[in-house]
Amino acid sequence: MKIRLLTIALVVGALMLSSCAKDTMTKSEKKHQVEITGTPYELVKAKNLVVGEQDWVYFSFEKATPVDPADPAKSTDWDVAFFAYYMKTNGGISGPGKGGVLSSTTVTTSFDEVKKAPAEGYVNDVKERMAYGMYPNLSYRDDSVSPILSGDFADNKDVAKGIVWLNPGNMASNGGKWPSVYAPTYFVYIIRTAAGKYVKFQVTDFYNDKAEAGAPSFQYKLSDDGTF
C-alpha cells in the first residue's frame, strides 16, 4: 500500500482549502454544484465542481453531470470521482466498469494535440492512505484512488503528477500565482470510461471565483472508438 507522507510545512499551506467555508446548502445540493457547457462528443467544459472532504463526488462523462450511484462499488453509472485533490476511475478495485487511465499521457498540456487513444496501457486504481482536512486535525482513510490522476506534493512542476501539484511555493504570499498550495498541472489524460469508451480530460483550474480551492474546472471530449 502506498502512503503519502505529508510534512507539517506542506499541510499548513493547505489551510485555505474551501472546506472551511460554511453555507446553508444540504450536502447533496452542494456536491452537485457545477456549471456545464457543451456536449460530450464535441466538447464539455465544467466549471467549479464542488469537491468536498466528506464524500466522493461521482461524475458521468456520457451524461455530463454529477451522479449519485446507490452503491458505487457495484455501479457503472459513473466514470470518475473526486475527493479533495484525489480522483478514482470506475474499474479494477473501484468499480465494475472498464475504467482506467493511460499511463503515459502526462507529457502534454495541449488538449488539441491529443488525437487518438491507444487500445492498451490503462492503469487501474490502487489502495492508498489518503490524508486530508485542516492541520492539525487531519483525517486519514484507506481507499482506492487513481495513482495517475490524483494530485500530490512535489518540489517543482517538473516532477509533479496528477491533476494538481501541491507546494507552499505556489502560494500567492510566496510570489506564486495561486492563493493556496494547489496549482493545476494542465496535463491531458486519456481515461477509459466504465462502458469502455474513451475521454481526453484536462483540469484547467482548482479554484472558484472567490479563490477558494476544491472547485476544479475541467474540459473533456468523449469518443466511442478513441478518435478525437
Sheet holding 86-89, edge to edge: 65-67, 57-60, 80-83, 86-89
Query: Does a structural domain hold residue 228?
Result: no
| pLDDT value of residue 157 | 85
The string of pLDDT tens digits covering residues 133-144 is 665 677 899 999
Query: Does a structural domain hold residue 95?
Result: yes
Confidence of residue 19 (pLDDT cuts 50, 70, 90): very low
Residue from 147, 148, 165 nearest 157 by CA = 165
| pLDDT value of residue 134 | 61
Residue from 122, 96, 101, 92 nearest 203 by CA = 101
8 A C-beta contact, residue 188 and residue 214: no
In whole angstroms, give the CA distance from residue 92 to residue 100. Answer: 8
Confidence of residue 8 (pLDDT cuts 50, 70, 90): very low
Sheet holding 164-166, edge to edge: 152-153, 164-166, 182-184
Per DSSP, 178 falls in state B
Structure pTM?
0.86
Query: Does a structural domain hold residue 41?
Result: yes
Cα–Cα distances (Å) from 194 to 42, 191, 199, in that order, read 19, 10, 11
In whole angstroms, give the CA distance from residue 208 to residue 225. Answer: 34
Residue from 93, 111, 91 nearest 101 by CA = 91
Which residues form the domain of 117?
A: 2-223
Query: Does a structural domain hold residue 192?
Result: yes
Query: Does a structural domain hold residue 82?
Result: yes
Confidence of residue 132 (pLDDT cuts 50, 70, 90): confident
Query: Does a structural domain hold residue 203?
Result: yes
Number of compact structural domains in the chain: 1
Residue from 126, 113, 97 nearest 191 by CA = 97
Sign, CA torsion 44/62/148/50 = positive
Residue 88 amino acid letter: K
Query: Does a structural domain hold residue 28?
Result: yes
Confidence of residue 101 (pLDDT cuts 50, 70, 90): very high
